[in-house]
Structure 1
């Protein structure tokens, strides 16, 4: 059996500080990959692949010459410094390969989980966001196969109603789940009043009946308080906003639009199971 020294270089003589160096290097590689624009990162990788070498002044000068932005230079200089201190057997080819692998993995993660923040409310001078109504309208317009909308309240949304009619007319299976189809004690308006006869007759409308809900000691029952939309089993919009004019125009609301088949399908499966077990019933 090989001893620890032959497997790990310094073996038992490795200091705690030395054992942390590979982790520091990997963390800095991750930082560089996520900080540099793809074209800039590609130029750094190309320079490292020109010829195999250790970290030296000539290589540092060549790399910095490709980085006019001082912020880019700082993160790359830190990477080179950690690489030089690491005392491993990596040459510039090895570092280039590590950067390429990390960049590929990061791109795959972004592709698998694309998340957009959605905001309705007062504007600031900071980052701009799409509004709740903009995202929801596009989600419905883009739906080709099936669409699920869930909301506690549904009230005065003529634009949403119109695009839902258009979706139904092009063959999209529309499923609506709301707190109550009629005026009720918790909400002074219902989904039937808000969306109209044409949608109600063509779409599937589900509710969570009171006798299926948990009740506390004082007789108060739970609410269907979810607000979300699922389109074509690949887009999931989770929001604080109800399907109401107030939520789209006056309230301060926030949500996330997630483009992920895995997550959208999981939420859709949860809804399907609730329907199958008669927790949600069609009206």
Structure 2
């Protein structure tokens, strides 16, 4: 169970530590003795929790040191405002500032060092949208790029799943990807079900770079979505979040829920 100490502010923690260290606060503890140093809503739980430490043999100085460490960690924790950026495409109201979708995506691709994961529903004129990523991939031979894209069955098409996927892979490799090295591409096979009631779409849109930064957006990988539609997204600089997002898609591929698209050409080719 999470300690109630984690619910205190930095000032509350520092005041509590000072009270223990100076001798103003000594066991046995009660709600009344703690109310001077912590919010009233937390006093009961904290009195029980801290008294338990004293019953187990800790001294006020030890508890003060513990609380000071928590305060120091909280003081150095990045603020949420430093971890998240609003990203926007479309007209902006006066007085509102945000980052542009196309600029953010390009910067993410250009700064990748080890890996890039791209998840998208629609791709149009990919040779322009993915230009900076393809250039980065050709520049860094060790850079791994995985794409999870929606492969749709055209209306009225009764062809085999394999044929539709083959055509998609050929079009992607020859029309949408401008680089010499090709990424790995995956799709959700449920999107090809002939019966519409069984059909599903890979509708997510996101980018993860180096498992450190994630971009989640309403925008597809099309010029319209990244340059003129009204689209909203967020950049999240959290390794924990970025790894969770990457690992979920990777696990779906490893377990066969998402299948590989054969691109029909070697993964290294002449540009």
- TM-score, reference length from structure 1: 0.59
Matches within 5 A, 1:152-191: 152-169=121-138, 170-171=140-141, 172-180=143-151, 184-185=154-155
1:147-167 Cα shifts (integer Å, max 9, x gaps): 111100001244332112212
| Number of equivalent positions | 199
Residues in 1 aligned to 2:133 and 2:153: alpha-carbon distance in whole angstroms: 22
In the superposition, relative to structure 1, how do residues 6 and 162 fare at CA in structure 2: closer, same or farther (>3 Å)? closer
Residues 218 and 233 in structure 2, CA contact (< 8 A), matched pair in contact too: yes
Aligned to 1:146: 115
Residues 118 and 130 in structure 1, CA contact (< 8 A), matched pair in contact too: yes
Matches within 5 A, 1:114-153: 114-153=83-122
In the superposition, relative to structure 1, how do residues 197 and 243 fare at CA in structure 2: closer, same or farther (>3 Å)? closer
Q: Which structure's residues are more often helix, by fraction?
A: 1
Q: Give the number of the structure with larger relative contact order, counting CA–CA contacts within 8 Å between residues 6 or more apart.
A: 2
CA shift for structure 1 position 106: 4.4
In the superposition, relative to structure 1, how do residues 247 and 276 fare at CA in structure 2: closer, same or farther (>3 Å)? same
Q: Does 1:242 align with 2:242?
A: no
Secondary structure of 1:117's counterpart equals strand
Aligned to 1:230: 208
Residues 235 and 264 in structure 1, CA contact (< 8 A), matched pair in contact too: yes
Residue 261 of structure 1: which of 221, 233, 239 is its match? 239
Residues 148 and 174 in structure 1, CA contact (< 8 A), matched pair in contact too: yes
Residues 153 and 190 in structure 1, CA contact (< 8 A), matched pair in contact too: no
Residues in 2 aligned to 1:154 and 1:179: alpha-carbon distance in whole angstroms: 9
Residues in 1 aligned to 2:74 and 2:120: alpha-carbon distance in whole angstroms: 36
Q: Which runs of 4+ in 1 moved over 6 A?
A: none
Structure 2 unaligned residues grouped into runs of 5+ = 1-25, 43-63, 157-166, 262-271
RMSD of Structure 2 on Structure 1 (CA):
3.8
Residues 212 and 279 in structure 1, CA contact (< 8 A), matched pair in contact too: no
1:219-266 Cα shifts (integer Å, max 9, x gaps): 252211100001111111000101111111221111110111111111
